[in-house]
Amino acid sequence: MTPYVFWLVPFLSLLRVALAISNPSPSVYATLTQPFYPPNANCIELRVPVTISYERLTFKFPGWKDDFALQDFLTAVTSREGANIPSPITGAINDTSSYTIAASFCTPRQEDRKKTIILATHGIGQARTHWNSAYEPDQYNFVQYAISKGYSVWFYDRLGQGESDTDSGFKTQLRTHKAILVELALLVKSGTVTGSFGVPEKLAVMGFSFGSFITHFAIAENPGLADAAILTGINYNTTGLNANGLVRSFVPRIASLQNPRRFGTLDPGYLTWVDTIAQINTYFKFPFYDFPTASYCEEFKQPFAIAKFLTLTDGEFDASQFTGAALAITAKDDYIICDGACEGIFEEPARTLFRNAKFTPYLHPNSSHNFNFHFNATEAYRVITDFLDATDPTLIPLSLRHKPSIERIGPAAGSLATSVLSYYQTLTSFLSNPLHLKLSTSSDSVNKTLVEADELLQQDPWGWVQLIVEGEDEFCNSTIESGIPTFGVEMPLSKISYNGPLQDALFCLDFSQHQGTEHKDDPISRGGRLNMDIDDRPTVNVIEDDYCFSEKGDHSPEDTTSRSIHRLVHVCFLEHIFRLYLKTIDG
């Protein structure tokens, strides 16, 4: 058992509802066409047979037949363990089972579609419609949004949900779903279940809530399964979580008793929450949603298995073997996994668990757990697709293998803050993650200017840009023969990597003044740190009128020895890095 294992119980409720709705009448939402096909997509429906072999946990359940007996069991399992309250888990057996999984695969109609497929796994209480909402699709449909950005999405109903097969709620557990996801990922990667799309160049696995834990454990134990992972509605930090309190406040009900019309054929191992208010309390954040949207989610809710409920964190948390790109995106006010406040408890231990991956954490504002159905859902979708754009290795070399053109542009040192802010405003159309500029210089005047720039940038509500000024010149850990301080820019943007596989991007320009120095290999294919000499490709040149300009990179070492030139060099560096980065993104 790892120290990070904890209970993550979706759909908890602080409100105890005296009467459950036993047989709600159909709502207007039932007239919405399912499955929904985004107008910008070509979609196919699939029924995929899978056979899985895995070690399945076994349980001893009392076999309740009503909600009173269920509540008695839940009281027991959330009490302090002792001689009279044994664990419901009794052991493990080897299991081989076959199921049919219902899925949809949507690809862009446009010809310039990307060759990356997103394989999406929904959470507890949902089906694959979580990703593909027929209700207000322009606002709440992730598939439609991803399609508009050129991505194809393969999404499915987990076992026991939607149109997929159902097994006993006393048996179906996280290990079952993990084994199914691994099989589906292999089928998608092989092109077996992708129709005319064929074999994808890249596979990104994506999950929401319980689906994110399934996805996490799948890649942690099978690190070559995917190139990227998108984990939404997830947190690995136990701070603020009261496991027993969450289970008790959830007050689960037997699904077949709560809604016989929809769930009457399920065994009593399938549970659900009480009503719309219970869902709102745990899934939504006032005033950033509307009631009709929450009602739609209630209309299409799905039951969940008790065995699933008891195995939510049954897996390997250490994802250090995964070297792909990983995005963890969670609502800033997530009531379920952060006790309503994720700031300060979100990034760790996540960064440690993904220490060898290119890891990006992001807290989504103005929403709770189910941010897919808040007013700003498309902003979260943009973060996800920008992340995929940025971490796709096939997109990076296009611009870096060509010399970026540098035009005659300002500024001098005195207008650095204005220039940075101007470039920042341009960059915001490309970025979804914080940009950190780390400047190492011994020039007090430049430091002062950078601090002023930082003050301006801190007015940005997103906090996308932060300048960090250091007084020592140790960032790049290199000796500069000319005496020019090393200028280092650190950009943990999940955009480019030169310092090991999928690590934070690091640009170091060292002006070592070696005439004729050339790169031995392309830095991307070499996988090393990018060191750019001004003789190697157009970068910057210090000239008398305080502008940065270069076509040939011609210079003389004598031009770079004075302290006044130091300041200007750093200004030019900063401007050049921004331009180089814009070229990289813009291609």
579 and 450 in a common domain: yes
Amino acid identity of 119? L
Average pLDDT over residues 209-233: 96
419 and 383 in a common domain: no
Distance CA 342, CA 304 (A): 26
403 and 386 in a common domain: no
Helix-strand-coil split of the chain, %, nearest 5: 30, 20, 50
Assess if residue 57 is contained within a domain. yes
Q: If you average pLDDT over every residue of the chain, what do you get?
A: 68
Assess if residue 15 is contained within a domain. no
Q: Is the pLDDT of residue 346 over 80?
A: yes
Average pLDDT over residues 520-525: 28
Q: Specify the number of domains making up the chain.
A: 2
Residue 350: its pLDDT value, please?
93
Assess if residue 462 is contained within a domain. yes
Average pLDDT over residues 180-201: 96
Residue 249: its pLDDT value, please?
63
Q: Is the pLDDT of residue 517 over 70?
A: no
Under a CB-based contact definition with an 8 Å cutoff, are residues 7 and 247 in contact? yes
Task: Answer with the one of 371, 391, 411 that is the final residue of a domain.
Answer: 391
Mean pLDDT lowest among 67-71, 72-76, 366-370, 511-515: 511-515
Tell me the pLDDT band of 77, cut-offs 50, 70 and 90: confident
DSSP symbols for 301-367: ---EEHHHHTTTT-S----TT--SEEEEEEETT-TTTSTT--TTSSSTTHHHHTTTSEEEEEEESS-
338 and 311 in a common domain: yes
Average pLDDT over residues 281-289: 89
End-to-end CA distance of the chain: 46
Task: Answer with the one of 366, 391, 416 that is the final residue of a domain.
Answer: 391
Residue 64: its pLDDT value, please?
93
Tell me the pLDDT band of 79, cut-offs 50, 70 and 90: confident
286 and 147 in a common domain: yes
Domain that holds residue 302: 40-391
Assess if residue 502 is contained within a domain. yes
Average pLDDT over residues 240-269: 82
554 and 490 in a common domain: yes
405 and 381 in a common domain: no
414 and 340 in a common domain: no
Q: Is the pLDDT of residue 502 over 90?
A: no
Please list the residues that pair with 42 across neighbouring strands.
107
Under a CB-based contact definition with an 8 Å cutoff, are residues 51 and 97 in contact? yes
Amino acid identity of 69? A
Tell me the pLDDT band of 191, cut-offs 50, 70 and 90: very high
Distance CA 572, CA 131 (A): 45
Under a CB-based contact definition with an 8 Å cutoff, are residues 275 and 371 in contact? no
Residue 187 belongs to domain with CATH number: 3.40.50.1820
Mean pLDDT lowest among 130-139, 263-272, 458-467, 496-505: 496-505
Name the more confident of 514 and 105.
105
Q: Give pLDDT tens digits for 124-148.
A: 999 999 999 999 999 999 999 999 9
432 and 382 in a common domain: no
342 and 202 in a common domain: yes
Name the more confident of 553 and 283.
283
Residue 396: its pLDDT value, please?
32
Of 64-73, 413-422, 511-520, the range with the highest mean pLDDT is: 64-73
Of 9-13, 359-363, 468-472, the range with the highest mean pLDDT is: 359-363
DSSP symbols for 254-283: EHHHH-HHHHTTS-TTEEE-S-HHHHHHHH
Assess if residue 78 is contained within a domain. yes
Assess if residue 290 is contained within a domain. yes
Task: Answer with the one of 391, 423, 445 that is the final residue of a domain.
Answer: 391
Name the more confident of 496 and 103.
103
114 and 80 in a common domain: yes
368 and 439 in a common domain: no
Q: Is the pLDDT of residue 1 over 70?
A: no
Assess if residue 191 is contained within a domain. yes
Calculate what percentage of the chain has a pLDDT beyond 70: 58
Assess if residue 27 is contained within a domain. no
Indicate the pTM of the whole model. 0.66
Tell me the pLDDT band of 165, cut-offs 50, 70 and 90: very high
